[in-house]
Structure 1
Amino acid sequence: MKRAVIICLMVSVLFFFSGAALGSGGDEGHGAEPKGWIATDTYRVMNFAVLAIALFLILRKPVSQALDARIRGIREQLSELEVRKKDAETELAQYNKKLLLLEQETEKIVAEYIKQGNEAKERILREAESAAEKLEVQASRNIENEFERAKLQLQQDILEKALIKAEQVVKQRITDKDQERLVDEYLEKVVA
């Protein structure tokens, strides 16, 4: 194959130089340009055709390989991008699940805090009611004790005043005769 290409190139070079020799030899003496198709034109076309065929034969395999390599590279990139896309979609799905679970967990935590807050509120209210009842019982006892103390104090005051009054009344109403009789009665009780 390479031999044929080399031969084609050599022939085309030969045609080129022979066509140039033919075209340059006939035109120098006339001074006017020939009209129409001349032999050099045929050689030039043949030379171009041989060069084009030679280039096609020479470059066909490397260009084909380069284009195939480029196509394979693009396909590999596309398949790699597809894999990345699938991985990204999987990650996105996982993150969405995690986000959903996080939102659910947040709702659970908030609900748990609300529940704990309500339980603490109820416990505090129960303790406050219990403390209020204890304070009420204690206050009742204190009031009763103070009332009894005041009552005893009042009775003692009344008794003292009554004794003072009675003593005054007795002093005013008792006569010497009454005193003698009382002394006699007392002596009889003591002696007997």
Structure 2
Amino acid sequence: IFIFLCTAVAVTIDPPWKNPMYETMQNITKVIGAAYTTYFVYEGTFEKDVLIKKSVVCLIMRITDYSYGSGIAFRKYREQVEQKQESLDLYLTPENDPGYDVYNYMTLQDAEEQEDLGAMHLVYTDYSICSLFYYDDTGDYEVWLYNKPDDVATPCALLLALLWDKSTHVYYTKNCTDTK
């Protein structure tokens, strides 16, 4: 029983993807360091956005600057498709777990309130189609797409399905037009 409990705790503390062996697919600097880039937050596991603290749609992450070791981003969203777009201004600071030679996660801070919003690990990215992130504080995942979503499944969607056996939520749909 003791061995089983130790194994269960180890899995809870360190998910299988948190391993320096995968660092070539987890270099967060190559994702947030690409200044003036828009990512479409296509789907995830949360009903209420982890950072915004409410249910939102048409969710995007816009990286506008990366200098002096941190990034500036805007998390743009709507509460309903037809409503005006709102924004949460963020500071993104890349960090690395022990054993990693690259930055594999980022801490997030509300730029206006100077409030710590937690950390997001980069689980996987192919650096061209999608990135899968994990929120340390809540255990939630979200998928960022490099282009507007189409009807083609991505490697990140497959990986999310393998990691998460409950239902997921789509945040960015074809009804999301005029996102800036």
Q: TM-score, normalised by structure 1?
A: 0.17
Q: Which has the higher helix share?
A: 1
Of Structure 1 and Structure 2, the greater strand share is in: 2
Query: Larger C-alpha radius of gyration, 1 or 2?
Result: 1
